[in-house]
Amino acid sequence: MKRVLAGAALVAALTASSAFAADKVVLQLKWVTQGQFAGYYVAADKGYYEDAGLDVEIKPGGPDTAPEQVIAGGGADVIVDWMPAALAAREKGLPLVNIAQPFKKSGLELTCRKETGIAGPADFKGKTLGVWFFGNEYPFLSWMSKLGIPTDGSPNGVTVIKQGFNVDPLLQKQADCISTMTYNEYWQVIDAGIPESELVVFKYEDQGAATLEDGLYVLEDKLKDPAFVDKMARFVAASMKGWQYTKEHPDEAAEIVLDNDATGAQTEKHQKRMVGEIAKLLGDDPALDEGDYQRTVDILLSGGSDPVITKKPEGAFTHAVTDKAKTL
């Protein structure tokens, strides 16, 4: 009898342990480990995910990583992505859905050497511009199409070169302008010794070409499972706690990012500055603003003969996750 009772107790203990096992979540970032994603690393470091019953794996990205391909291949449950890339992928058959939008403003810019004679967008013609690919090119292509400037290297167009991990094309004068973010590559240019007085910067926000960045996306079929929606709601709620802590303690958040940088490539000065700049792009409400969504769609549709998307998306976002997250 004692053996039976002992066995029953063991089964009960294992069952209870299983019932309280943390739910696994794999998050694929859009870029390498840096302050751009501080909120997620802070949420993990401070135990917010653990408190929410989650075991979150954060997978860094890079210049040759397309989050859309990762989630399509089953390598992630949720990805950080820019909306142009997500909507383009959706139109091509990958049913990505925006479940939250922590970033409310765009940090994308085109930074040019003043000595090239570029003073306004009309001066881009005949110039060489550095652009990130793997989905990052869509806002640029939409902007050029809106301006009526071909990207085929013709005399009245621009020559586009694939921009990699660094800002070398501008420093080495291989490109007249390069893509930069307000929180990252722009400061790399400054730190390399080119003063602001020698630069001309075109912010996508100022050019009417800004689209939504760094939203959270999942596959549509997954949202049919209430358990998955609940898991994502807990993930979003915990992540927003991480972002709030990041805004209130930017230096500490930067240190947490550095602790998670396996490459050792990041510097304390750069990460602290990045976290400070990132805070300017964040909102307090994780829900997608439908006005911002429509603005992004309109920009992507207005690409002339070669728009990023050709029709208005249907079902490309949901408030189900953020609505639930707000109740937690």
Using DSSP bridges, classify how beta strands 96-100 and 215-219 pair: parallel, antiparallel or unpaired: antiparallel
**Rounded-to-integer distance, Cα 275 and Cα 9, Å:** 50
C-beta of residue 181 within 8 angstroms of C-beta of residue 30 = no
**Rounded-to-integer distance, Cα 38 and Cα 43, Å:** 8
**Rounded-to-integer distance, Cα 93 and Cα 67, Å:** 15
**Rounded-to-integer distance, Cα 210 and Cα 294, Å:** 12
**Rounded-to-integer distance, Cα 284 and Cα 240, Å:** 8
* pLDDT digit string, tens, across residues 182-198: 999 999 999 999 999 99
**Rounded-to-integer distance, Cα 321 and Cα 328, Å:** 11
Rg (CA), the chain: 22
**Rounded-to-integer distance, Cα 27 and Cα 215, Å:** 12
CATH of domain 23-104+212-325: 3.40.190.10
When mean pLDDT is compared across 47-51, 97-101, 203-207, 298-302, the lowest value belongs to 298-302
Both tokens of 97, joined, read 């859905």
* Every domain of the chain and the residues it spans: 23-104+212-325, 108-203
Q: What is the pTM of this model?
A: 0.89
* pLDDT digit string, tens, across residues 68-92: 999 999 999 999 999 999 999 999 9
Query: Dihedral angle at the C-alpha atoms of 312, 314, 315, 316, nearest 10 degrees?
Result: -20
Domain 108-203 in the same topology as domain 23-104+212-325? yes
Q: 165 to each of 14, 34, 270, 286, 293, how far by Cα in Å?
A: 47, 13, 15, 29, 29
- Residues contacting 164, CB < 8 A, separation 6+: 63
* pLDDT digit string, tens, across residues 131-184: 988 778 889 998 998 899 999 999 999 999 999 878 999 999 999 999 999 999
**Rounded-to-integer distance, Cα 234 and Cα 265, Å:** 32
Average pLDDT over residues 112-127: 97
**b/e map 267-302, b = 16+ CB within 10 Å:** eeebbbbbbbbbbebbeeebbbeeebbeebbebbbe
Cβ–Cβ contacts within 10 Å for residue 266, how many? 18
CATH of domain 108-203: 3.40.190.10
126: left (phi over 0), alpha (psi -120 to 50) or beta: left
Q: Which of 33, 27, 41, 31 is nearest to 252 (CA)?
A: 41
Taking 80 as the threshold, does the pLDDT of residue 121 lie above it? yes
